[in-house]
Every structure is written in C-alpha cells, then in structure tokens.
Amino acid sequence: MAVRLLFPTLMFEYNLLEEGLVTETYLQQLKADMDSMRAKDPVGRRISNAYTGWQSNDGVESRPIWGKMLRVMKDKLNNDVVRFHGIDRNKVQLQIGNAWANINDNLAWNKPHMHNGCWYSGALYIHAEGDEGNFVAINTDPKVVSDFPNQMRQRESKDHHPISGTLLMFPSAMMHMVEPNATQKDRYSIAFNTNTRYLSEGRPEPLQIAEDWDKFEIGEDGELTK
C-alpha cells in the first residue's frame, strides 16, 4: 500500500552557520548594520509588523556588507529550489529581488501574510535563540470538510523555531506569521522576495525529475518508506 503527497507546500530550510557558509562574526556585522539602519530611520514602515516591531524599507539587498550573504542565498535558490523543480538553471535562475530588515523586541509580532508578486520568498535569521516567537506556516488549503481526529500528518499550521543562521525559503503564496516575542531579547531577521531571470528566449521545457518522488510506501508501523 502506498500514499502519495498531493499538492504539498514546499519549504527549504537551512542553517548557514552549521553548514559553515557564514560565521558568527559575519552575522554580528550584519546585526550591527541593521542597528545602523534603525538608528537612521527609527520609525521604519508598517506592513505585517505589529505592536513595536520595526521593519525597514526595501534596500537591504543594495547594502555592500550583505553582498556575501546574498550570494550564499542565491546559490541555495538555484542549486536547490530551481533544480528540485526540474528547471534547467542554465536557462532560468532566481535572484534576490528586494529585501528588508525586521527587529522584533518584546511582544512584537508579524501578522499573517503572503508575499505577492514573486515565485519564492524567504526569511533569514541574523540573531535569534529560538524562543523569541515561532515562525508559523499556515495551511490555507483545507483538506477535510468535517471533524477529524487530532493528528500530526494533516494540520492547520506548522511551527518553526529559527535560530541565528536559519534560512527559510517557500512559495510566495504560503501564508505565514511570526508569534509575539515573549522574551526581553530582540530578534533580528531579514525577509526577501525573488526575481525570476530567463536566460534564453521563451519558456524552457521542464527537465525530467525523479518519477514518483511524491509516493511513499506505508510500513506496518504506519511509517513511510521510499
């Protein structure tokens, strides 16, 4: 007997510190740059940020100190996201379009929202210990129209506990929010949208991907195996 994952919402998750792609020193430099941005524009803008949360205007992507980080993120987008979807990265590439900074202090949070106008979006955590409010992915596609038992394989939301170096990348239509920060610590992150760049004329044909990548066998214990 088998089960197939129909219409899954994909989220790519990394810790760039653990992978050795960035250093703690570099993250501290980025944090200092965010403090500088806030000092020059203490009001910022208000979009999804609520209560006392501060959000910068777009432009993080144009600040020189972020160049190395943007290259790391672009490599992840093209080596993983583009290739996973069976797209020839020699014909289509993703790049960081616009990025903005977020600093959430005590009780600050971000309302449920999506990122319009792009294919993939994401969040990168510059300074976080994991207890300053969860990143919550919200299921907006109901699978059941009646009561069903509480269980973990179909649920309304999925919590993530990002720490420094966590990079999350997800389709722009994935509804998400950030819970209120119950600590006295400030959490630093940036959010971003991507641009899709076509390197050849016309829409390229998709590459062949692994057949039945979304199909799993069900063992006697209920666990899934390939």
Fold for the domain defined by 26-141+153-208? Jelly Rolls (2.60.120)
- Residues of the chain with pLDDT > 70, as a percent, come to 100
Dump pLDDT digits (tens) for 135-151: 999 999 888 888 888 88
In the predicted structure, residue 22 carries a pLDDT above the cut 80: yes
In the predicted structure, residue 27 carries a pLDDT above the cut 90: yes
DSSP output for the chain: -EEE--SPPP-EEEETTTTTSS-HHHHHHHHHHHHHHHHH-SS---SSEETT-EEPPS-GGGSGGGHHHHHHHHHHIIIIIIHHTT--TTTEEEEEEEEEEEEE-TT-EEEEE--TTSSEEEEEEEE-BS-S--EEEE--S---SS-----SSS-SEEEE--BTTEEEEEETT-EEEE----SSS-EEEEEEEEEEEE-SSSPPPPPP--TTTTEEEE-TTS-EE-
In the predicted structure, residue 203 carries a pLDDT above the cut 80: no
Q: Which residue has the higher pLDDT, 20 or 2?
A: 20
Dump pLDDT digits (tens) for 88-97: 999 999 999 9
Dump pLDDT digits (tens) for 40-72: 999 999 999 999 999 999 999 999 999 999 999
Q: What pLDDT score was predicted for residue 117?
A: 92
Dump pLDDT digits (tens) for 150-194: 888 888 899 999 999 999 999 999 999 999 999 999 999 999 999
Q: What pLDDT score was predicted for residue 179?
A: 97
Dump pLDDT digits (tens) for 99-130: 999 999 999 999 999 999 999 999 999 999 99
